[in-house]
């Protein structure tokens, strides 16, 4: 049994992972800044995630941007699971310094400390992201696999949201493997790519096993319903409960790979604890592409109410069109297969949501902030 540190360990993924590790007999410590955007203005009273993790782990309130906080949290630790990060592609495009400082700067401080001071860490798992792929992998009509550039403002303004090759041909989406070309389309994606690269490059030079997990779109009970940057399921569910219609960006056919929280936790547990994971880079997803309109339909069925939608044609700069992960490496090396299909995951999510307070309209505020900076068209 190991002593495990989870940075960002009081968050959506970290709190459940702490419980999983503790149940398996590991000693768990978490380091978390308990940001108001995630935990509310008074985390001790407003954060159920903090209450959950406090029952199974030693909680250090601090930040990865502080060497002193990191040093204290690393005492006697054997495994580090590095989840701490600012998240949200849209917000990252106008809070650039904050994202770079937390995601890149915090990781650099962590690796610098491990490189230059005594420690007992033998394995590090970093939470990377599907955002590092940008548009990911596609196939041409001739069967060639390509990694297309980001869609242009001009094309999307004309209502053309398709991903096209240099010759204007519309490309066919295929699952993106871990060997794909990396070309993130947002500041968040850039920071996650650098974060992963720092750990996967430096850790082996200091005798630490490194594992990178490229999470797809994680959802499920426990995710923030007030943070407008945590994903469309929480945003849409709040709008439905408020009796509001849902404005759909682009044409509603944009897709993502949604993976249920319990599946993500189990994959991360294996990455942290089994020998076969050492040195590996793994996509953690469902392997299924789900469109935004599919999400609305699934939520409508789970809530048991019709949902009024409007296809607006609006779009956000930095958004990708599609995303689906190739999960064969996860299966073959870690022996892991996601178990919760999307419809069942949404049912469990809604079952939890209906007992939670209805959030405020922070989503509209986030859209106004993006529009003011001409990132939302």
Which residues are known catalytic residues? 188
**Tokens describing residue 205:** 């030079």
What DSSP character marks residue 102? I
Cα separations (Å) of 63 from 60, 102, 225? 9, 9, 23
**Tokens describing residue 49:** 């995630």
What proportions of the chain, in percent to the nearest 5, are helix, strand and coil?
Answer: 40, 15, 40
DSSP assignment string, 119-148: ----EEEEEEEGGGGTT--EE-TTS-EE-P
Please check whether residue 281 is in contact with residue 327, taking contact to mean a CB–CB distance below 8 angstroms: no
C-alpha–C-alpha distance, residues 180 and 258, integer Å: 20
Please check whether residue 257 is in contact with residue 287, taking contact to mean a CB–CB distance below 8 angstroms: yes
């Amino acid at each position: 049994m190991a002593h495990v540190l989870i940075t960002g360990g009081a968050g959506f993924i970290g709190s459940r992972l702490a419980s999983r590790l503790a149940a398996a007999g590991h000693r768990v410590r978490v380091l978390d800044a308990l940001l108001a955007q995630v935990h509310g203005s008074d985390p001790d009273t407003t954060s159920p995630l903090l209450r959950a993790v406090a029952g199974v782990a030693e909680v250090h309130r601090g930040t990865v941007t502080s060497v002193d906080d990191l040093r204290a949290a690393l005492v006697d630790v054997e495994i580090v699971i590095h989840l701490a990060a600012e998240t949200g592609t849209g917000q990252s495009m106008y809070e650039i310094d904050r994202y770079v400082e937390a995601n890149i700067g915090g990781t650099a401080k962590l690796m610098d400390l491990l490189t230059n001071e005594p420690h007992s860490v033998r394995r590090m798992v970093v939470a990377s992201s599907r955002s590092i792929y940008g548009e990911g992998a596609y196939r041409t009509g001739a069967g060639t696999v390509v990694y297309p550039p980001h869609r242009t403002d001009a094309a999307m303004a004309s209502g053309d949201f398709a991903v096209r090759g240099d010759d204007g041909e519309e490309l066919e989406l295929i699952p993106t493997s871990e060997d794909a070309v990396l070309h993130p389309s947002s500041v968040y994606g850039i920071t996650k790519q650098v974060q992963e690269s720092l750990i996967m490059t430096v850790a082996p030079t200091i005798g630490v096993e490194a594992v990178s997990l490229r999470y797809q779109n994680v959802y499920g009970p426990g995710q923030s319903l007030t943070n407008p940057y945590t994903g469309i399921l929480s945003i849409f569910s709040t709008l439905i409960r408020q009796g509001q219609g849902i404005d759909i960006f682009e044409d509603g056919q944009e897709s993502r790979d949604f993976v249920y929280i319990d599946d993500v936790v189990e994959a991360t547990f294996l990455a942290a604890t089994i020998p076969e994971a050492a040195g590996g880079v793994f996509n953690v997803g469902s392997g299924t592409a789900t469109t935004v309109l599919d999400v609305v339909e699934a939520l409508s069925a789970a809530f048991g109410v019709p949902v009024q939608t409007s296809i607006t044609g609006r779009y956000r700069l930095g958004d990708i069109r599609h995303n689906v992960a190739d999960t064969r490496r996860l299966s073959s090396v870690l022996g892991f297969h996601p178990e919760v299909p999307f419809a069942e995951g949404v049912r469990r999510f809604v079952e939890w949501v209906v007992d939670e307070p209805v959030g405020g309209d922070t989503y509209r505020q986030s859209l106004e902030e993006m529009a003011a900076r001409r990132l939302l068209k």
